[in-house]
Structure 1
Amino acid sequence: MGLSKTFSASDVSVHSTFASRYIRDKPAKYKMPENSTPKEVAYQVISDELMLDGKPRLNLASFVTTWMEPECDKLIMDSMNKNYVDMDEYPVTTELQNRCVNMIADLFNAPHKESDEAATGTGTVGSSEAIMLAGLAFKRKWQNKRKAEGKPYDRPNIVTGANVQVCWEKFARYFEVELKEVKVTEDYYVMDPVKAVELVDENTICVAAILGSTYNGEFEDVKLLNDLLLEKNKQTGWDTPIHVDAASGGFIAPFLYPELEWDFRLPLVKSINVSGHKYGLVYAGVGWIIWRSKEDLPEDLIFHINYLGADQPTFTLNFSKGSSQIIAQYYQLIRQGFEGYRNIMENCHNNAMVLKAGLEKTERFKILSKDIGVPVVAFSLKDRSHYDEYMVSEHLRRFGWIVPAYSMPEDAKHVALLRVVIREDFSRTLAERLVLDITHVLKELDKLPLPSVSPNGGDDQVCINGGICNGNMNTLVAKKKFSDIDLKEEDCIPKLAKSA
């Protein structure tokens, strides 16, 4: 006689995922569930929720790579289980990292070839870690020099522009270095080299120049900074160096502007960081820090370990990290070559010019980005009396576009702008489509009955279409006080919330 089996209501093996109880159960949010969940259900539940994220390729706020070739995707997946720090166990991966360091150093005109030595540098999880390492090297070298001279070494400072990325502020705060910022001004949104050199004193560990400002993609004048600082060093007897934060521009300038002097061709440039996951064309998770020579990296910052099988030098803030992004970077360097990178960067630049021309044709925007720089188009409204950049940004989301709106740094904070980052996978078709959608949004906003601003625009605001504004930029608002308008509580609660 054949055996029969009674299936429980929870046995997902006989039900489709959407017929199982897991779909109606409350998802775990703050406490690990007591029981296991079938793998198909776990996947489906998470995948469904992730559908509500924006589309990465339409995220024009980010400099980070959102597309790679399938062959590289396969290499990434094949090496997901390799811990990069296990150098003795994965010697080929270590060799690939060293090749990347040498190739990038050569791209930045490092003088290591002259001494027939390998380049000095390392892979990081991004430019933030790279900047921390560079800053630590400058601080330690300055401290060692001051100690040897019998001078105080407890008040180091670093000079930057106010337009630097937040990682520089983190470095200054975490490692107790005074941050001396050169203020930006309207129509000059990067560090002024003259003002930067004026801030330099005997406690300055370095001046940080930005090759590709986060705000508008503009390159700072590293050559002028180098020349002015050389003169000041000569007059004072100091030897204040330069670090170049080339997170965005490091993979742009060598291919589009090879004659531009910003790298190790300048004698005071001692270190450069670059993000492999930006225009290095690799997914998020890889950066690089390159030093001019091994003398610029103090030996006492390098640790040597042997508990993984052999003596291994390490100079990173973290320990374990994946190998995938290192391997992906090597893939891109040999796959694209100089020709491929140049073609991609030219395409990015040309598509940025198409977008810029389309915006100028509307006669509604002022362009704040430069033609020479990172392929970014930054722009602000000429007339903000009816609506502002934040409202344009919010309305563009209805078309799927993620275009950030933000303000400039202190002393130019009254300037708000929108920014579009042109990446490898942003085609001319998309550029033209974006112009059409922006034009459509402007026409919609023009029809608004009241002067409208986003919740970022000021205090004492109330929604004019059925909800109290709480800073979520989901509704249009008017700058009116509650006392100026007759509102009932039920009118301020969104209908969906009331029915719930």
Structure 2
Amino acid sequence: MTLNGKFYDSYADEASCRPISKFKLEDEPNDPEVIKNLILDELLLDVNGKQNLATFCQTDLDKNIHELMDKCIDKNMIEKDEYPQTAEIENRCVNIIADLWNSPNPTDTIGCSTTGSSEAAMLGGLALKWRWREQRKKEGKPTDKPNLITGPVQICWHKFALYFDIELREIPMEQDRYLMTPEEVLKRVDENTIGVVPTLGVTFTLQYEDVKSISDALDQYQKETGINIPIHVDAASGGFVAPFIQPNIIWDFRLPRVKSINGSGHKYGLSPLGVGWVVWREKEDLHNDLVFEVDYLGGLMKNFTLNFSRSAGPIVSQYYNFIRHGRNGFAKIHNACVGHGVFIGEQVNKLGIFDIIYDGKTALPGVAWTLKKDANVNFNLYDLSERMKIRGWQVASYLLKIVEKNIVIQRVLVRHGFSRDMAQIFIDDLIRSIDHLQKHPLVSKTNHTDCQSSIKKSI
């Protein structure tokens, strides 16, 4: 390549012939094309998103989303007076989601976009606390010991409880019971319970908790005690799956006790990172003390998010997905993903050394399994995950914390952008990895039970 009549190559440039700066700014600028290439080269070392079967997040985005994201890169979602049409698109998304989740009045409820479902979950939790505290003050009762009931939840609820001074009563998993049940909820609720949080798509096993049964149990509890305990549904993943492919499951605003729901647009909502959503059943379910009026951005604006400045791109992309796919499009996409997950589960089960914990048929697209107790193998599941990385596959292996005995499980998530051909390649690579580890064990004759015992002692 020539530049101004002279030979030039970006990899012969001075910036390419020395280590890239890591700890401080250099004094002089560099050629932007060279620096872009150097950074892109480093990013090649990251995993291929389509082979990342550990993440819930969407990794396959069409060219139109890339264009919309580019057009919105300079739009600050919080500045609604400057970007009124973008604000209108956000409001449309809230109304569409409220309708999707069977709000009694989807055009006149309240909700907002967030940076992800974790922020949305915390907003739902804060609304529960404020309503509980207000009621306790009216009754002349103390407000210093709020508690929240959950099943096995992801880290955001632990953060919420710590940050906002709430006792988290997380129902532990037991042998053959991995989810919250009405019986376990009723063991823990009392007058200080600000709410119960069932999960529609548990992080660890992909299963849905039975929101309706829990709601029915709380109805009966209220009749017996007079204590009215609301529900917030953490539908981070299932909120954009169940309405399309499991519409008969009653989990949403069809249940009067459900006061708020959070969901993640950048998971099964098919949108790019990072957008989440929270919707309240009625405007009254979001306490006025949590709403701030901001007037220094050009006009009077109400705000009730934890974060502030962020790109409008993911929100606009969410609207694009809603309009492009419609209900039937989402259903077709997610049903295809379910089919791939079921196929993987069936093939894994045929290998004879695994117990299937979740078969992919009734909740999120994917599958989870553990090694059989009597499996005669020379590896554990962590070894298998590491071996699969050689072919680029990311497969989550982690402890399932069960009362008295932890077990290690593997979980595969199937998202839009995955095909049956890729599923078959995955299975072929899994079989090759197992064969290799059997012939070349990473630890000498250490079976998976011993490995799990040593892991348990270390935690």
Q: How many residues align?
A: 447
Distance in 2 (alpha carbons) for counterparts of 1:204 and 1:321: 34
Q: How much has 1:271 moved relative to structure 2?
A: 0.4
Distance in 1 (alpha carbons) for counterparts of 2:217 and 2:84: 44
Q: Quick one: structure 1 residues 13 and 35, their matched pair in 2 at CA, closer, same or farther if it must change by over 3 Å? A: farther
Distance in 2 (alpha carbons) for counterparts of 1:348 and 1:26: 43
Q: How much has 1:30 moved relative to structure 2?
A: 1.4
CA deviation digits over 1:187-215, x for unaligned, max 9?
A: 22111221112200100000000000101
Distance in 1 (alpha carbons) for counterparts of 2:35 and 2:250: 53
Distance in 2 (alpha carbons) for counterparts of 1:129 and 1:196: 24
SS in 1 for 2:336: helix
Distance in 2 (alpha carbons) for counterparts of 1:459 and 1:106: 49
1:411 aligns with 2:400: no
Distance in 2 (alpha carbons) for counterparts of 1:240 and 1:104: 24
1:401 corresponds to which of 387, 393, 401:
393
Q: Does structure 2 conserve the Cα–Cα contact (< 8 Å) formed by 1:184 and 1:190?
A: yes
Instruction: Give the equivalent residue in structure 1 for 2:20.
Output: 27
Q: Does structure 2 conserve the Cα–Cα contact (< 8 Å) formed by 1:12 and 1:38?
A: no
Instruction: Give the equivalent residue in structure 2 for 1:188.
Output: 177
1:443 aligns with 2:416: no
Q: Quick one: structure 1 residues 18 and 12, their matched pair in 2 at CA, closer, same or farther if it must change by over 3 Å? A: farther
2:186 corresponds to which of 185, 197, 211:
197
Distance in 2 (alpha carbons) for counterparts of 1:52 and 1:413: 37
Q: Quick one: structure 1 residues 458 and 53, their matched pair in 2 at CA, closer, same or farther if it must change by over 3 Å? A: farther
The equivalences for 1:154-303 within 5 A come to 154-161=144-151, 163-303=152-292
2:311 corresponds to which of 322, 326, 330:
322
Q: Does structure 2 conserve the Cα–Cα contact (< 8 Å) formed by 1:60 and 1:401?
A: yes
Distance in 2 (alpha carbons) for counterparts of 1:219 and 1:412: 24
CA deviation digits over 1:265-295, x for unaligned, max 9?
A: 1111100000000000001100000100001
Q: How much has 1:458 moved relative to structure 2?
A: 6.8
Distance in 1 (alpha carbons) for counterparts of 2:289 and 2:78: 20
Instruction: Give the equivalent residue in structure 2 for 1:73.
Output: 66
TM-score normalised according to structure 2 size: 0.94
Distance in 2 (alpha carbons) for counterparts of 1:166 and 1:456: 25
CA deviation digits over 1:221-270, x for unaligned, max 9?
A: 11110000111011111110111000010111111111110001111110
SS in 2 for 1:393: helix
Q: Of the two, which has the highest radius of gyration?
A: 1
Distance in 2 (alpha carbons) for counterparts of 1:28 and 1:448: 40
Q: Does structure 2 conserve the Cα–Cα contact (< 8 Å) formed by 1:390 and 1:453?
A: no
1:427 aligns with 2:419: yes
CA deviation digits over 1:431-464, x for unaligned, max 9?
A: 111111111111111113632479975769xxxx
> Bigger shift: 431-440 or 375-384?
375-384
SS in 1 for 2:261: strand
Instruction: Give the equivalent residue in structure 1 for 2:123.
Output: 133
Distance in 2 (alpha carbons) for counterparts of 1:17 and 1:297: 55
- Cα RMSD between the aligned structures? 1.9
Distance in 2 (alpha carbons) for counterparts of 1:290 and 1:380: 36
Distance in 1 (alpha carbons) for counterparts of 2:447 and 2:57: 30
Q: How much has 1:22 moved relative to structure 2?
A: 1.5
Q: 4+ residue runs of structure 1 moved beyond 3 angstroms?
A: 11-14, 452-460
1:123 aligns with 2:116: no
Distance in 2 (alpha carbons) for counterparts of 1:376 and 1:411: 25
Q: Letter of the aligned partner of 1:61 in structure 2?
A: A
Identity between Structure 1 and Structure 2 (%): 42
